[in-house]
Structure 1
Amino acid sequence: MALSDPTRRAILARLTVGEATVQELAQPFALSQPAISKHLKVLEAAGFIETGREAQRRPRRIKQETLKQVADWIEPFRTLWESRFDNLERHLAAKSQKEK
């Protein structure tokens, strides 16, 4: 899955600031430019980013509509897990009170 890799998630996080070239995206990583390009191909194939064309530059940018679809899909799961963690917190607090 495209979002399972931390490098790809970091690339997406960087692209939320604005478009960037492969060289700009590679800077914070100890990876070669070809390795970063492979990550970009995965993200592009998954529909998360697109490649622009400005003369010799090929800046990458986020496809916001795809990320919105992912966020909308994941929201019910986030809500469910937050509820479960809240229940666990209440349970542990009650257990702690009983032990005192």
Structure 2
Amino acid sequence: MERTKEAIQELTLDAPVSQVTLLEDRALVQRRGKANLAPGLWRIRVEKVAPVLSDKSLRAEFCVDYPEARIDDVRTRRRMLIKEEERQNPPKG
């Protein structure tokens, strides 16, 4: 079965910080969120995370056993955010 963009459902998950462990040169930040998902292919987005998030340490997991469910991929996608005032008045030069 070919996966089309129409077949992917999207969700922006509210996942507040639940635990922070401070280390000498970094911090381990854990977030938790809940979602009730219907069967199918989902793209779940967690926004407003630290811009220095390490891709190597990024992970997702189920807190409950769902034998038919699986997580296929976890990745970071970075975007540049531009303040509204800078959009309206771009720097000259």
Q: If the length of structure 2 is used for normalisation, what is the TM-score?
A: 0.29
Q: If the length of structure 1 is used for normalisation, what is the TM-score?
A: 0.28
Structure with more helix by fraction: 1
